[in-house]
Amino acid sequence: LPVPIAVFFLLYKERMVPCFNGSSHPLLSADELALETRPGDKDELSTAGQRPHIAAGHEDLFSCCQSKNFRGVSFTYFAVHITGALVLFMTDGIVGEYSGFVYSYAVEEPLAVVHKVAGYLPSLFWGFITLGRLISIPISYRMKPATMVFINVVGVLITFLLLLIFSSSVVFLFVGTASLGLFLSSTFPSMLAYTEDILQYRGCATTVLVTGAGIGEMVLQLLVGSIIHDRGSYSFLVCGMIFGCLAFTFYALLVFFHRMYPKPSPELDEASPEKAAVPEDTGQYQR
């Protein structure tokens, strides 16, 4: 509870809560966190501080959802958002449902793993996710984000297929768990980097992708838990295989829409609904 209360307080002080923005004073008179000013700009900043100042994206909590920001935008712009969010919906959902139910799957028939041994499976899974994220950092310097996402999605699909084929092998269950952790580890950051390369976005697209991933992690756990309760533990791997196929399908659609998406140009870049308002020639704050 302290975290959402503190966030609400900051939103209130920054006048970002639509119903409670009458009497409070903003904490910052200018967007000092997003802009580095030169020494010669101090006078301009002090003058701008005397005028009513509203930073881009600060005037409303839901400003990125306003229809005026999307006039003239092609349908592929929305398609990239949706398919990218659906890929993360499936992959993060697999992370949640696998870590949540692999223990239950292992202790049931036909594997009937000892409870103490089965308890190592979630730890193994999260351990290899951590290891995979460390390994993916140097790999990302040499490999494009789209290629990394492709390898991850295909790796998840193949791993679930092998888990289904060798469903009676305890040894391969441990090997498959480690393999899934490696392939799922860098899917989320690679997808963010891939969509950023396509959209050149600043803010709202991140919200769509993170929300899709969070909802997937919540919904798929609930769905798989209900299916296991009704159909038995073997459905755990079947659900994972289905989710892996869906993730690959949505990734293929994302690549398709990427090829249809218009390449950025100076004119389109200025008119982009995700373009943040920045000074023309600050000489600073570069990627």
184 found inside a domain: yes
- Kindly list the distances between the CA atom of residue 154 and the CA atoms of 51, 177, 235, in Å, as whole numbers in the listed order: 54, 15, 21
Does 163 map to a domain? yes
Distance CA 178, CA 130 (A): 11
Please say if the pLDDT value at position 285 is more than 60.
no
Better pLDDT: 189 or 59: 189
Q: What is the pLDDT of residue 284?
A: 43
The per-residue pLDDT of the chain, averaged, comes to: 80
| Number of domain units in the chain | 1
- Is residue 266 in a domain? no
pLDDT average, residue stretch 255-274? 65
Q: What is the pLDDT of residues 166-207, one digit of tens each?
A: 988 999 999 999 999 999 999 999 998 898 888 776 557 788
pLDDT above 70: residue 132? yes
Q: Is 13 among the domain residues?
A: no
Instruction: For residues 192 and 84, give the distance between their C-alpha atoms in angstroms, rounded to a whole number.
Output: 8
**Does residue 277 fall inside a structural domain?**
no
pLDDT of residue 259: 87
**Stretch 119-144: mean pLDDT:** 94
Q: Considering the domain boundaries, does residue 174 fall inside one?
A: yes
pLDDT score, position 65? 56
Which of 11-15, 93-97, 110-114, 132-136 comes out lowest in average pLDDT?
11-15
Distance, in Å, from the CA atom of 82 to the CA atom of 76, rounded to the nearest integer, reads 10
Task: List pLDDT tens digits, range 4-50.
Answer: 899 888 888 887 776 665 555 656 555 554 554 444 444 454 544 44
Dig out the tokens for 39 from the structure.
């020494």
pLDDT in tens, 64-73: 555 555 666 6
Structural domain span for residue 216? 80-260
Say whether the peptide bond before residue 264 is cis (omega within 30 degrees of 0).
Answer: no
**Range 74-87 burial, b when 16+ CB lie within 10 A, else e:** eebbebbbbbbbbb
Residue 158 and residue 200 in contact, taking contact as beta carbons nearer than 8 Å:
no
pLDDT of 66: 57
Lowest mean pLDDT among 19-23, 79-83, 227-231: 19-23
Q: At what angle do helices 145-165 and 170-185 cross, to 10 degrees?
A: 170
pLDDT at residue 2 tops 60:
yes
Task: Please tell me the distance from the alpha carbon of residue 17 to that of residue 209, in angstroms, as a whole number.
Answer: 23
**CATH assignment of the domain containing 183:** 1.20.1250.20
Split at pLDDT 50, 70, 90, the class of 63 is low
103 occurs within a structural domain: yes
Residue 129 pLDDT level (bands cut at 50, 70, 90): very high
Contact of 264 with 83, CB cutoff 8 Å: no
> Which residues touch 44 (CB under 8 Å, ≥6 apart)?
37
The pTM of this model reads 0.71
- Look at residue 54 in the predicted model and tell me its pLDDT: 43
In a domain, 27, yes or no: no
**Both tokens assigned to 36:** 């580095």
